[in-house]
Structure 1
Amino acid sequence: MTLKGDPDEALVARIGRGDQAAVQSLVARKLPRMLQLAQRMLNDAAEAEDVAQEVFLRAWKQAAGWTPGAAKFDTWLHRVALNLCYDRLRRRREHLMAEPPEQVDTGPAPDRGLLAADTGLRVSAALAALPDRQREAVVLCHYQDLGNIEAASLMGISVEALESLLSRGRRALRAALADLRE
């Protein structure tokens, strides 16, 4: 069954035929979202750039064999990005250290009086502190603007399970950022 209205279908076909302009168009359209997704999942800009680069490399390699099917190409790109993020998160946990890393003061610098910047950092830190699956659900639905059905499908879970993850994630974020509401 082919999905009707996949906006990327023709573009992917052109990439599969070696059309450089199509590659540039795909990257221009999708790069910001892939970077945002990886940045929010990994909380590291350099790693996010590496993930985004690998996503587009895989898209380029797979384009010739892409068969439109049950999922949109954009959904496939998100799944690749998430898998690459999880690979990196697993490697972080597996990396054992002889000594704990030096702790960096993540609080606002004395000369930074910009409340908005501080709030953004606090939100990013609270998001990074969520369990992986809750963070994934929040990022997909609230930052990547995916609907619950598409996000649940992408995560391989039911819509009810997604809504449960979203609820727990939102509750944890509210608790971590409660002082900002005052």
Structure 2
Amino acid sequence: MLYANGDPSAAAELMQRLAPRALGVAIRVLGNRAEAEDVTQEAMMRLWRMAPDWQPGQAKVSTWLYRVVMNLCIDVKRRKRGRDVDLDAIPEPPDPGSSAADRMQDLARQDALQQALMQLPERQRQAVVLRHLEELTNPEISGIMEISVEAVESLTARGKRALAKCLANRREELGYSDD
């Protein structure tokens, strides 16, 4: 693995490929972009430090990184327990091809989803983010969260139901119709 040998171009390529997804997971789990950026940076540094000892075939680098991100998010949440949690995440940059109204609608939907995600119990939120927003498979999530596939299925199902309940009375406001 070129990355393990300190190759700067391999490091840059791996960073470009993995950091945005790690950041997305951390933002969705923590609800705070600044904290998520810190988590992502720490996770990428841990990957850099452990790269020389990486055993090919042991696990996928991305799966290992998601696990580290989740652990770091849990650590951040533990440190913050008892304090107010900032639910205002900085939204993703708008698509320049979209109209202002579409961008505003998308931002409202993202904010509503983030607020609803933050109301879920932590493990449900993690499972829903990894499965439905990061589109990982249940076995991958099982490895990351260190639980059975059946537990992943249960957490995601309960999380989806809770999200639907949280967002049900906002369908019209968020531009969804029954058509």
Normalised by the shorter chain, which TM-score bucket? 0.7 to 0.9
Question: Structure 1: any 5+ residue segments left out of the alignment?
Answer: 1-12, 96-100, 106-111
Distance 1:17 1:178, change over 3 A: same
Partner of 2:145: 155
Which residue pairs with 1:108 in the alignment?
A: none
* One of 171, 175, 178 as aligned partner of 2:161: 171
Deviations along 1:52-73, whole A, 9 cap, x unmatched?
1101111110000111244211
Q: Which residue of 1 aligns with 2:78?
A: 90
Paired position in structure 1 for 2:23: 35
From 19, 27, 33, the equivalent of 2:7 is 19
- The 1-side partners of 2:26 and 2:130 are apart by 11
Unmatched tracts of structure 2, length 5 or more: 89-99, 173-179
One-letter amino acid of the structure 2 residue matched with residue 123 of structure 1: L
The TM-score with structure 2 as length reference comes to: 0.82
Residue-pair matches, total: 158
Q: Distance in 2 between matches of 1:150 and 1:70?
A: 14
2:116 is the alignment partner of 1:126: yes
Kept in 1, the 8 Å contact 2:87–2:118? The answer is no
What does residue 181 of structure 1 align with?
171
Q: Give, in whole Å, the separation in 1 of the partners of 2:105 and 2:17.
A: 31
State the percentage of identical aligned residues. 46
Of structures 1 and 2, the larger Rg is shown by 1
1:179–1:27 Cα change, 3 Å: same
Q: Distance in 2 between matches of 1:34 and 1:18?
A: 21
Corresponding residue for 1:98?
A: none
Partner of 2:41: 53
Deviations 1:14-50 (A, max 9, x none): 1221111111010011111011000001000001110
| Shift in alpha-carbon separation, 1:161–1:25, aligned structure 2, 3 A | same
Note the aligned Cα RMSD (angstroms): 2.1
Give the superposition deviation at 1:104: 9.6
What is the TM-score when the length of structure 1 is the normalising length?
0.80
Question: Which residue identity is paired with 2:105?
Answer: L
